[in-house]
Structure 1
């Protein structure tokens, strides 16, 4: 989730909070005008203005938390739990996913205001133990509601993160009190009260260093916990080769800037505007005769150029061979490998080529589809490229099929949610289950650093389901 997406999401959630706090502040203003300022100096007020304002902010904060955790959420996780401590962070590391890490950080930040506001509102919450008790109880109450209502999972990680957030807020409160009291910032107080963000920062810094030192990226298929295979009836029908194998690793090469520059040069287009969403980009271009095109480019390297106002019509060419040669010439000019691809179809003036997805050892290769769309007069109305350019890196040693089977025996694999009909119970490996391995075949997938790496696809029958499969990192 990008910074812009986060801002827009928080803006939507913030509107009800602003309305609630605004109404509360109107009542506070009325209290001040009609009672507080008119009382005699000796008369003790019903409530201090500080507590009223803090109370209004606290209520707004509670509304915000309820919107995030309770209000308007679906019911797709009824009675589901994730009791693995720090499982979310381990999974985020396995995927090296910023979005996954953000979820943990958001859960910490969500409870920071509670750790600040409670001790400001009441002296009894200036005792750390009482504040901690409230934070933990509030978190457990939210998790319990989500579990029984189906609004979310009961996750130990959420309890840990929310508690850390409450403690962090309390530490920030203590730091502010220390600065106000001593009229200066004490280094000891600064370090002790910023211990949690310092530790989190060091942790992420160390993870970043380790990740960048690795040759290859992370594979999301790597399981972060083991299944207990005791009592599971596991078998295999094929004979498994115990000898290790080797396979190539490739690197996806994405050339966004080169593609845009090449299109502008070859088709004589001028760029008018550019929009970006994370790693995706959309550009508006115009030709020298005023025809507008939209160029979309994805993070993976796929791109499409389409004429904005053109509606494809049934094309009937008087000389189809020359039109095919024209389409080939356009593709060749843009570096699309027609000489290595097979022409699949021609429909409404759109020529579609397809490349083999079989990696070739010791050489670069292309995979995917691309197309060129021509009007009857031979001019271009659209070009699309789903081609992946994979550069050969080196050969690596692989696990043998027998070693892969041993990993299944040890429970080191993921149960893959391959469709929405599978329930959580069907994805839990437990005593009495039947798993028969029918085959182990080599395939490839991209890791988090865009390396195209060999993985094993293990297929079989699980409790009568013949479509079961899992993926296991093939690297030794």
Structure 2
């Protein structure tokens, strides 16, 4: 779930919270005018804080308890900081967002507690409530199957509560002393400052690395002490090398190309992180959506048109070829295939073992019966040779399998998560170890090994980074 999805879900969940707080405020207003006009104002303030606190509790329960499924019965992840480790190994903002969201969710709890009860101004009592609350949620989730008991969640929620408590103490210090004291500021912001320094350090380390990270390295080592691993392959232990490539992205001039060649004009632009979506219009008034990905791909689609309308027409080979030559999108040697609905596809097969720069990918063109474009998608890109690197030998790859240093990949949608857990008595037979390639987080095309065979008699495969 990315940040935009989180915000959309929060907006949906906030509706019942707003209704509850609104009802509470209405009751507080009635209470004030009917009974408490002459009462101390602190009482009304406590009621208002209490009303907001109840709304916050409802919001947290919506996120963690109410309406969740029951597909994770008695599942636990007791590895500390596993979320941060996965985010680092994948270098994934999405993974990190989940960790930070779990921290942010409990910051209000730490802020509210000292307001509600003077006794809870003592750190030990606030922390006890914060820790007990997150422990109760995690325990409920694992017993009911509504979620996985994760030690990371316990740590992050507690950390968020502590940050909230420290923000309260900082505010109380400013109110009491009528100024910001440096000692109080540093002391109460120590945790977020430390986290900020850690994240900055991680980014510096990442920037200094030549290559990026591979998502397949985000795994927990399996215990293979009583697992039978076998192979009939003759595995070479000899050192070997393989090339690494860099994916060259080029989509900055897409709008200019389409405006010049197709006469499309821009009506509106929207940006999603590094991706862009443009609304374009042709001279005849037809509107198109152009999506330009930060990964280098782009697609143009006519709005309100379906390809089925062209299904009864013969493919227009000459028109399609002439149009693609005019757009100058096709590398040499691209293979053309044609479907019956006026869709043409040119493809270049991947050739990562050529030890030189090469093009790969595909471009798809959809034409209407009158020869006009209804869709155009370009995923051609150049893989630029960087250098050769030392890689594991097949024998070393097999040793990694024997040592449990590989990810268990969900190779079939019907496979359950518990079926992928390596346990005593399991049998793995390796039938093939083949060199393949995968893009890393910096856009480098790195060599990997695809290891295939059987796991407890069923087809199985895994992927292992080849570069040493």
Query: What TM-score bracket applies, with the shorter chain setting the length?
Result: over 0.9
Residue 137 of structure 2 aligns to a residue whose secondary structure is helix
Residue 438 of structure 1 aligns to a residue whose secondary structure is strand
**Which ranges of structure 2 fall in alignment gaps of 5 or more residues?**
none
- Corresponding residue to 2:411 among 409, 412, 418: 418
Q: Give 2:276's aligned residue.
A: 281
Find the aligned partners of 2:282 and 2:219 in 1 and give their Cα distance. Answer: 52
Q: Deviations over 1:22-51 (max 9, x none)?
A: 111111112211111146x8xxx9x82222
Q: Is the 8 A contact 2:310 2:369 kept in 1?
A: no
Question: Residues 206-355 of structure 1: matches in 2 within 5 Å?
Answer: 206-311=201-306, 312-314=309-311, 316=313, 323-337=316-330, 339-355=332-348
Find the aligned partners of 2:235 and 2:168 in 1 and give their Cα distance. Answer: 62
* Structure 1 pair 3–152 and aligned structure 2 pair: CA distance change class (3 A): closer
- Corresponding residue to 1:472 among 460, 464, 467: 464
Post-superposition offset of 1:469: 0.8
Q: Give 1:385's aligned residue.
A: 378
Post-superposition offset of 1:351: 2.1
Q: Give 2:147's aligned residue.
A: 152
Find the aligned partners of 1:9 and 1:30 in 2 and give their Cα distance. Answer: 33
Residue 326 of structure 1 aligns to a residue whose secondary structure is helix
Post-superposition offset of 1:375: 3.8
Residue 72 of structure 1 aligns to a residue whose secondary structure is coil
Residue 255 of structure 1 aligns to a residue whose secondary structure is coil
* Structure 1 pair 333–247 and aligned structure 2 pair: CA distance change class (3 A): farther
How many aligned positions are there? 466
Residue 253 of structure 2 aligns to a residue whose secondary structure is helix
Moved more, 27-36 or 420-429: 420-429
Moved more, 102-111 or 293-302: 293-302
Find the aligned partners of 1:303 and 1:293 in 2 and give their Cα distance. Answer: 13
**Which ranges of structure 1 fall in alignment gaps of 5 or more residues?**
none
- Corresponding residue to 1:364 among 347, 357, 361: 357
Moved more, 422-431 or 305-314: 305-314
Residue 37 in 1 paired to residue 37 in 2? yes
- Corresponding residue to 2:45 among 46, 50, 54: 50
Find the aligned partners of 1:104 and 1:94 in 2 and give their Cα distance. Answer: 14
Q: Give 1:117's aligned residue.
A: 112
Q: Deviations over 1:273-323 (max 9, x none)?
A: 122333333222122333322222333333222333444324656xx7xx4
* Structure 1 pair 128–335 and aligned structure 2 pair: CA distance change class (3 A): same
Post-superposition offset of 1:338: 5.4
Find the aligned partners of 1:59 and 1:374 in 2 and give their Cα distance. Answer: 58
Residue 215 of structure 2 aligns to a residue whose secondary structure is coil
Task: Say what the alpha-carbon RMSD is for the aligned residues.
Answer: 2.0
Find the aligned partners of 2:120 and 2:328 in 1 and give their Cα distance. Answer: 67
Q: Is the 8 A contact 1:247 1:361 kept in 2?
A: no
TM-score, with length taken from structure 2: 0.94
Residue 269 of structure 2 aligns to a residue whose secondary structure is strand
Q: Is the 8 A contact 1:445 1:455 kept in 2?
A: yes
Question: Residues 178-197 of structure 1: matches in 2 within 5 Å?
Answer: 178-197=173-192
TM-score, with length taken from structure 1: 0.93
Post-superposition offset of 1:427: 1.2
